[in-house]
Amino acid sequence: MMDPSMMQAQMAASTSNPESNDLSSRSQLFSPAVAHNAQIVEHVRGLMSIFAGAAAGVLGVTGIIQGACVFIIFHTLTSLGLLTKIKLTGKVSNYLPTKWYAFLVADAANHLLSFLLFWTMGYTLIHIY
Amino acid sequence: MQPPTLGHSSRDLLLDPAIRNWGVLPILVFVLCINLLRAYLTHLGKGNKPPEIDDLRRRQVLARADRLRANGNNIHKAGFEARKAWFVGKDEQEGALSEEGVPGAVNPMSNPMGMMEMVKGQAYFGMTQMGMMQFSEMFFAGFVLVKIPFALTASFKGMLQRGIELSTLDASYVSATSWMFLVAFGVKDLQRLFSFDDGPMKEEARVYALQAGGVPLGGGPPAPMGFDCAKMYSAAKGGLDMTRHRFALEDVEKRLLGDRYPTSLSATETFLTMETPTLRSSSLGVTGPTHTGVRHRSQTSNAKGK
């Protein structure tokens, strides 16, 4: 992922607290870089939901709660995997305008329907046919 | 003898593989292709109408004023005041934000071509959905296609099992129409993976990036309608007027040096009373900060009136 904090010379994003004098507490992120990062994260999460759904279906996971657990586990694991790209010591706020705990949970609902589709398909194709 | 099945529980129905070959997979492929086709068609049908130059110029001015207000603390006061004067005007000189004859709220009804485009876009979407529903009802009616992996109550039967009148059948077994809807909602991710490498789908990528990242790319996408120029101009002007400027790099040398910031008087006195090189001497009328960023002791004492 590109590091937009390197490009603070081109300020395109608005600050959250203009009164604060501390540069590290403001998020001056270069917006095309943020968009690029966000797109990559979306890609990864989309792929995750597809393969997790297929895996859940093939393994015969039934029941809403079990399926939701599978989805949450996969989602958290991939988010943690994405976090290791910044070595777990860098801050997520250097790359995306979210905090690390929001990053783990964010955008889950966007991919829930894909997960459901591939879960249904995997389950049906293996267990019903 | 029963054919060998893979992980098949005794409570599940066993369906004919022909249904899988000719029902489940074709609907999936069909919906995916329709979605891709629709995306490409909307992209082709957009047209190359160039934006109106006055409108674009005003939007850019507003964007710059907003940027100044947000990031003004990063430039020193003289620069900020100069830029603010350009926008807001000073001493009988009109600023850019006081432009005369700026249009008010744009009435969406008065732009028939734009309205037509939006309606056309929505119509494509709606028409394809209806068409797909009719298609699946016509060709795939009367049999169960797919089992949803979780248990549903009986009230879902009316919605999910159109055309199948079995009262004892599990509500999880659904008909082709509901499978089509499931696919239509879930295939957006797959479609996005297919079409975002390069080429004509960069526009869609921008829209998704906007939604995901929450930060507009460049200057932000042009607002479709209702862009009230006069009101936004006066709001920006008022905002800039009220902005309090505090130079963020005021004491940057203290922050940078931290503990090593020299506090002993003799060292600072010697340093500060050194002759500055002729290029930066005040004979040239330069009164800004020196190149090291450290304020000259005499300058600060003058400014503070000590």
pLDDT in tens, B133-146: 888 888 887 788 88
User: Does residue A12 lie within any of the structural domains?
Assistant: no
Contact B146 A120 (CB under 8 A): yes
Interval B37-44 mean pLDDT: 77
B280 contacts B291 by C-beta, under 8 angstroms: yes
pLDDT single digits (tens) A44-80: 888 999 999 999 999 988 888 989 999 999 998 988 8
Within 8 A by CB and 6+ apart from A17, the residues are A25, A26
Contact A31 B213 (CB under 8 A): yes
- Chain A within 8 Å of B246 (Cβ-Cβ)? yes
Secondary structure letter of residue A26 according to DSSP: S
Element (H, E) at B174: strand B173-174
* Placement of tokens 């329709």 in the chain: B34
- Quick check: A33 pLDDT over 60? yes
User: Does residue A7 lie within any of the structural domains?
Assistant: no
At A119 the pLDDT is 93
Q: Are strands B146-147 and B173-174 parallel, antiparallel or unpaired?
A: antiparallel
Please tell me the distance from the alpha carbon of residue A8 to that of residue B81, in angstroms, as a whole number: 22
CB-CB neighbors (< 8 A) of B215 in chain A: 13, 29, 31, 34-35, 97
Instruction: Classify burial at B121, counting beta carbons within 10 Å of its beta carbon; exposed 0-12, middle 13-18, buried 19 or more.
Output: middle
CB-CB neighbors (< 8 A) of A30 in chain B: none
CB-CB neighbors (< 8 A) of A27 in chain B: none
What is the Cα B62 distance to its own chain's centre? Answer: 18
pTM, two decimals, is 0.66
Please tell me the distance from the alpha carbon of residue A22 to that of residue A19, in angstroms, as a whole number: 9
CB-CB neighbors (< 8 A) of B187 in chain A: 114, 117
Write out the two tokens for B256: 């940078």
Residue of A28, A31, A94, A96 to mutate for B, most B C-beta atoms under 10 A: A31
A57 contacts A118 by C-beta, under 8 angstroms: yes
Element (H, E) at B179: helix B176-186
Domain that holds residue A53: 31-128
